[in-house]
Amino acid sequence: MQVMSKENYADNLRKWETRCLEPFLKKYPERKENFKNLSGTDIKICYTPDDISDLDYEKDLGFPGEFPFTRGIYPTLYRGRLWTMRQFAGLGTADDTNQRFKYLIANGQTGLSVAFHLPTLYGYESGTEMTVGEIGKEGVAIDTLADMETLFSDIDLGKISTSMTINAPASILLAMYVAVGEKQGVPADQLTGTIQNDILKEYIAQKSWIFPPEPSMRLIIDTIEYCTAHVPKWNTISISGYHIREAGATAVQELAFTLADGFAYVEAACDRGIDIDEFAPRLSFFFNAHNDFFEEIAKYRAARRIWAKRMKDKYQAQNPESWRLRFHTQTAGVSLQAQEPENNIIRVTLQALAAVLGGTQSLHTNSMDEALALPSEKAVKIALRTQQIIANESGVTNTIDPLGGSYYVEWLTNKMEEEAEKYFQKIDDIGGVIPAIRKNFFQMEIARSAYEYQIQVENGDTEVVGVNFQRSASCSPEKIDLLKIDESVAQRQIQRVQDIKASRDNARVEEVLEAVRVAAEGTDNLMYPILDAVKEYATVGEIIDVLKSVFGVHKEDAVF
Amino acid sequence: MEQERKIRVIVAKPGLDGHDRGAKVIARALRDAGMEVIYTGLHQTAAMIVESVIQEDPDVLCLSILSGAHNALFPQIMQLMKEKGIEDVLVMAGGVIPQDDAAALAELGIEGFYGPGSKLQDIIDYIRAHLKR
């Protein structure tokens, strides 16, 4: 076999261009002048060893399960255990969602994921002014421990892991979960799951903040400290790029902003004096799976490598568990189209495949009808089946990181890492993540990308099938059966809260809420008084109100 | 000169819904189309939005909601506007609003519903063609 030197590749490529490509192009020009990926990076016609000539296998890729984990975080990956199939679900009352959970488990789902309604996310008690029209709409209504008991009724918390998408009130919902476990006879140290608990990306993108950044960070570090001592198998933060991407960020921005948030949490926990190797293994990540197939795969690979290097080299973590970037993935909600919704099944399939080829630890596949409403049972089932088909029929799980070594994917992984490093530098120059939030740096970057994307769609530079390409005039967006949330849900939930408040020991509730206030004013870990408060059936709204009275509330600049 | 006057638009986000991507894209597009745009920011009650309308005296009020709370919040806004005697503001809606709901909301005087997949230029054209003053 002839061995070509690096120079030979470049030289031979130029010869190929003259000999083969150019005459061909004269006869058959390309479809477009430029080919770019979704982050706007120019993509070449073809990649060769020349594009990754500096790549050092041992240093930059390594073997699966070993530093820097570019190829995957476990030595067997899906050959040992498939990813967790975890569909995000929440609707109506706790009872309604409990039914949906059981339906998903009966259909082979392997983990739970709770979507709370907006009033819970913002800490408003159902029935108060801001909850009009919102109760049970975008998720499940949880006001007290009683709702949480119903939510997990007949589901053994010792046997299933649960992810909870909750941020500002995360400590309260975690306390409720621990309390439900206790009632079921499952000790806290046996509970497995995740609270999102990522407030930084709330200010940046998802916008369900309550308190200003500093007390919010304190609450997060309180939960980390508490879990490290009592709930050691719990993922204390799910550092999320998903919402950053949904809000309009490019893949590069998603990668960079998410990891920057991760570094900020690491630094905050270290500042509290918690040993990095005590808490870092329980940090997890949550990424988007968008349309540009190879860019998404490169993003996950780059994320693993950047995290591992920083954790080991900059933060001096010793435990390899601290270097491993474990992540959940959700397919891109924003890529779902209202026009011809069945096409969304195909989009989701490709996105899910990218997540799997990128080595995800768990996955939510969106339902085809989500540009129109909360998903129907049928739509959810197809979404779950999509994962099962990838896992059990396609053969892609047989080997780890099958795209490793691809000239294109390796080049793109390197490129995304470089671009992310530039953003880390910019954020450092501004003074860190929180100052950058206050200066609207992330918000404006994302708004700009969102607008640029929309203009590209408008111009036809980005094609969306059924929307600006092959749009069919006759197709009404709503020819599929949609889920409707019964308007009586709100009344039932408000009544339920009132019943609980009438039946609990209200003098005791006053006492425990006072203890929360005292802890908030001082520096004691808030998890302990919050746990006492939820056990007395204090509402999420009552606890948040006490915290607001001490911490104040965040105000956002309305920039666009 | 009358035709030189810029069209004034308020883009508002009623309710708890934090999905502001669409609202911000619309705000930029209308600004780039030469309109004067005021964006309220998130978490607005009906009273806050109508107060902004009174203060800013816009030609157009664009409401964006993706949480499903439109059937509760939009009628509140329209009722308050009526009480305050505001009748010459074009009220439009965007976000995730099922067609059946849009039909009922149209009865209250909301017009120009633009959901996912809408073209920015269509929205701009609609505003220019349907101003009420």
Most B-contacting residue of A137, A253, A448, A489 (CB-CB within 10 A), to test interface: A137
Residues 6+ apart with CB under 8 A from A258: A201, A239, A240, A241, A244, A285, A287, A303
Domain count, chain B: 1
Question: Rounded to two decimals, what is the model's pTM?
Answer: 0.94
Query: Closest residue of A to B23, CA-based?
Result: A560
As a 3-state breakdown, chain A gives helix, strand, coil percent values, each rounded to 5, of 55, 10, 40
Option in A207, A374, A558 nearest B18 (CB):
A207
What tokens appear for A442 in the block? 């992330």
What tokens appear for A151 in the block? 């939510």
How distant is the Cα of A557 from the closest Cα of chain B, in angstroms?
7
> Order of strands across the sheet with B113-114?
B36-39, B8-12, B60-65, B90-95, B113-114
Query: Closest residue of B to A122, CA-based?
Result: B16
Q: What is the pLDDT of residues A168-185, one digit of tens each?
A: 999 999 999 999 999 999
Q: A480-494: buried (b, 16+ CB within 10 Å) or exposed (e) per residue?
A: beebebeeebbebbb
Contact (CB, 8 A) for A510 and A503: no
Contact B117 A482 (CB under 8 A): no
A196 contacts in chain B (CB < 8 Å): none
Contact A208 B18 (CB under 8 A): yes
Question: How far is the C-alpha of A289 from the C-alpha of A334, rounded, in Å?
Answer: 10
Q: Which helix (H) or strand (E) holds A284?
A: strand A283-289
Q: Which helix (H) or strand (E) holds A543?
A: helix A540-551
Location of structure tokens 């039946």: A503
What tokens appear for A282 in the block? 């329980």
Distance of CA A542 to the CA centre of its chain: 28
H helix intervals, A358-402: 377-392
> Order of strands across the sheet with A327-331?
A234-235, A193-195, A162-165, A111-115, A84-89, A362-364, A327-331, A283-289, A237-240
Question: How far is the C-alpha of A168 from the C-alpha of A147, rounded, in Å?
Answer: 19
Reduced to 3 states, what is the DSSP secondary structure of residue B91? Answer: strand
Question: How far is the C-alpha of B58 from the C-alpha of B9, rounded, in Å?
Answer: 5
Option in A121, A247, A338 nearest B117 (CB):
A338
Most B-contacting residue of A335, A451, A486, A554 (CB-CB within 10 A), to test interface: A451
Which residue segment(s) compose the domain that B117 sits in? 2-130
pLDDT over 90 (residue B116) = no
A122 contacts in chain B (CB < 8 Å): 16, 43
Location of structure tokens 């190829």: A71
Contact (CB, 8 A) for A308 and A68: yes
Tell me, yes or no, if A374 comes closer than 8 A to chain B by beta carbon.
yes
Q: Which helix (H) or strand (E) holds B37?
A: strand B36-39
What pLDDT is recorded for position A479?
Answer: 64
Q: Which helix (H) or strand (E) holds B95?
A: strand B90-95
Give, for all 560 residues of chain A, the pLDDT tens digit: 455 566 678 889 999 999 999 999 999 999 999 999 989 999 999 999 999 999 999 999 999 999 999 999 999 999 999 999 998 999 999 999 999 999 999 999 889 999 999 999 999 999 999 999 899 988 999 999 999 999 999 999 999 999 999 999 999 999 999 999 999 999 999 999 999 999 999 999 999 999 999 999 999 999 999 999 999 999 999 999 999 999 999 999 999 999 999 999 999 999 999 999 999 999 999 999 999 999 999 999 999 999 999 999 999 999 999 999 999 999 999 999 989 999 999 999 999 999 999 999 999 999 999 888 878 889 999 999 999 999 999 999 999 999 999 999 999 999 999 999 999 999 999 999 999 999 999 999 999 999 999 999 999 889 999 988 888 766 555 567 777 778 799 999 999 999 999 999 999 999 999 999 999 999 999 999 999 999 999 999 999 999 999 999 999 999 99
DSSP secondary structure code for residue A189 in this structure: G
CATH code of the domain containing B17: 3.40.50.280
Contact (CB, 8 A) for A201 and A257: yes
H helix intervals, A284-376: 293-309, 320-323, 343-357
Higher pLDDT, A183 or B3: A183
A137 contacts in chain B (CB < 8 Å): 67-69
Contact B18 A132 (CB under 8 A): no
How distant is the Cα of A293 from the closest Cα of chain B, in angstroms?
22
